[in-house]
Amino acid sequence: MICTKMIRRIAICFLIVVALTALLPMRYEHQFRDSPNAGPSRQFLLGTDDLGRDRLSRLIYGTRVSLLLATSAAILSCLAAAALGGLAGSGIADKLILGAADLFLSLPWLFLLLMVRAFLPLNVSPLISVTITFLMLGLLGWATPAKVVRAAVRKLNASDFMLQARATGSSRLLSKHLIPNVMPILWAQLWITIPAYVLAETTLGMLGLGVMEPLPSWGNLLRELEGGGIANHPWLFAPVLLLAAVIGSFQVIFEREDYSV
């Protein structure tokens, strides 16, 4: 038990260090034209890519893009889930919201993302592509958290303290009783959703439908692996190790069976 707690603390510390490092000012787009495809050196710790851009700078900036936007998308999903899951309690609203959630869950998430992302304009700027990618993640991923919130709200509505609050004519049912009790569930959903969105962006990026170049993200950084030559350039694995360590840390803190991407 003490060991598990210690591992969790280490994972939290690691995530904080990664998040703070990702905020360092980096020039990800600067080209060192004299040294394309350079190996690791004192100047370039992870070498440079074929356009002469420092890989470490791109990895740090890509971490910022992936983590910041996955968190934003997760917040968007959880807010939508809280609103819709909270509304779905009884009557027609419940049936409609549950039906919509079933509809979203009936299509594999990646399939839906792939479809919508592919039909966006061909000439979008990197900034728009990053916004669209994560906006889609946020808007399409509300169904599962909404079902969880709905179940919690229904359970709370049927609880004794809510009955008592209603009987005493309490006017602050929502703010005093419902929201404080649903918040831990929403936090847990947020914590589960962030790594799922990071992995979704990575898969989309590897398929060429994620964040557009020159803006780096874990998805398009991993796409570099497809160029081959990993046996001779093992430092290309740095984004893989960082991704595995970050998602692994999320899992250590809050274990989940399926991220489904």
Q: What does the binding site for another protein look like in residue numbers (CB under 8 A)?
A: 99, 102-103, 105-111, 114-122, 195, 199-200, 202-203, 206-209, 222, 225-226, 230, 240, 243-248, 251-252, 255-261
Alpha-carbon distance 42 to 26, whole Å? 17
3-state SS, residue 54: strand
3-state SS, residue 116: helix
Choice between 81 and 136, CB closer to another protein: 136
Least Å from the CB of residue 231 to another protein = 9
Contacts of 165 (CB under 8 A, 6+ apart): 173, 176, 177
Choice between 61 and 218, CB closer to another protein: 218
Choice between 68 and 139, CB closer to another protein: 139
> Closest by alpha carbon to 209, among 120, 125, 79?
120
Least Å from the CB of residue 150 to another protein = 16
- Rounded to whole angstroms, what are the CA distances from 103 to 4, 163, 200, 253? 38, 33, 19, 31
Q: What are phi and psi of 142, to 5 degrees?
A: -80, -20
DSSP state of 107: S
Least Å from the CB of residue 259 to another protein = 6
Choice between 50 and 255, CB closer to another protein: 255
Choice between 23 and 245, CB closer to another protein: 245
Least Å from the CB of residue 171 to another protein = 36
Least Å from the CB of residue 163 to another protein = 25
Choice between 26 and 143, CB closer to another protein: 143
Least Å from the CB of residue 173 to another protein = 29
Q: What are phi and psi of 53, to 5 degrees?
A: -90, 140
Contacts of 60 (CB under 8 A, 6+ apart): 21, 22, 24, 26, 28
